[in-house]
Amino acid sequence: MKILKAMLGLTAAAAVSLLAGAVSAQTYPERTITMVVPFAAGGPTDTVARLVAESMSKDLGQQIVVENVGGAGGTLGAGRVASADPDGYTILLHHIGMATSATLYRKLAYDTLGAFDYVGLVTEVPMTIVARKDFEPTDLKGLIDYVKANKDKVTVANAGIGAASHLCGMMFMSAIQTPLTTVPYKGTGPAMTDLLGGQVDVMCDQTTNTTKQIQGGTIKAYAVTSPKRLDVMKDIPTAVEAGLPGFEVGIWHGIYTPKGTPAAINERLSKSLQVALKDPNVGARFAELGTTPSSDADATPAALKAKLESEIARWKPVIEAAGEYAD
Ligand code: ASP
């Protein structure tokens, strides 16, 4: 201790905490880890989290338990992790909303770039523009004409301001210059239940949540937001092909820890994430759901940090131009 103190010129307390961090990082994890998903159970973020958590648990030798903290477009769950102890036992799996909410919210309970450390990128997944099964329009052009003519009637489900479904819906309304009534849910899991029940008309959501329903014919699909058609739904055109120029959006997920988490713990989680993303069971499920696992190089703290920073910069002007904010 004396040597550590002298070497680093630290106070006794700082040296103790540094030592404690080093020791706990070596033996980490020693108990159950909570992975906060900032959306309701049953939705696409939850599906990604549960698949990855199960496989990471095996690699880490400790359970990762998923806790759904939905609400306010993912910002409640992110806030919960921002204020958790930086010990590696509370982690966050969030998507692109981590970047967009930094601009969409005039006030957030946390500083997006200051409150977190990084584990790595998890997946990349496109969105689909879908509707309840018996919704009248049969293709994207028909949908655009229909919603323009019925703008006071049509309802669009989303998972709150900051969610990917909100971003995609906002881009759609802005592209066709027609504001529509939005219905916010705590996640697109419950939103899908209402779409299936016919209580809401339209939604834009990740293929992780929509592929099985589209294949089963229980909802109607108009377009995918990827640059190319997807193998799992070859007959669904891209939004660009179907008449929305430039309408491309890819959703990415990342795993974060509270700021101050020892680097060795973030690295351990990153290595475990890389193992999970190469797990054939995880890969097969993701493939079925049109969801692409990140490469080893992307499932790293540095890659996620760079992605978050570049995505905040990328979406800021788009959101500012749309002029839609939450207070
Ligand atoms: N992915 C959904 C969204 O961003 C939320 C969820 O995962 O439930 O809208």
pLDDT by residue (tens digit) across 134-165?
999 999 999 999 999 999 999 999 999 999 99
Q: Is the pLDDT of residue 325 over 60?
A: yes
More confident residue, 7 or 144: 144
Distance (Å, whole) CA 312 – CA 317: 9
Q: Is the pLDDT of residue 91 over 90?
A: yes
Q: Is the pLDDT of residue 273 over 90?
A: yes
Q: Does 38 sit in the ligand 1 pocket, CB within 6 Å?
A: no
pLDDT by residue (tens digit) across 242-253?
999 999 999 999
Architecture in CATH for domain 30-125+251-322 = 3-Layer(aba) Sandwich (3.40)
User: What is the pLDDT, as a whole number, of residue 25?
Assistant: 76
Q: Of 109, 105, 18, which is closest to residue 316 (Cα–Cα)?
A: 105
On average, the pLDDT of the chain sits at 92
Which residue is listed with tokens 């669009």? Answer: 156
Which residue is listed with tokens 């959006």? Answer: 249
Q: How far is CA 234 from the centre of its chain?
A: 24
Cα pseudo-dihedral 79, 83, 89, 92, rounded to 10: 20
Q: How far is the CA of 8 from the centre of ligand 1 (A)?
A: 45
Q: How far is CA 47 from the centre of its chain?
A: 11
Q: What is the domain partition of the chain in residue ranges?
A: 30-125+251-322, 126-233
Distance (Å, whole) CA 83 – CA 116: 9
Q: Is the pLDDT of residue 326 over 80?
A: no
Residue with CA at minimum distance from ligand 1 atom 5: 187
Identify the CATH number of the domain defined by range 126-233.
Answer: 3.40.190.10
Mean per-residue pLDDT, 103-112? 94
Distance (Å, whole) CA 174 – CA 159: 18
264 in helix, strand or coil? helix
Cα angle value 67/73/74 (rounded, 5°):
35
Q: Which atom of ligand 1 is nearest to the CA of 96?
A: 4
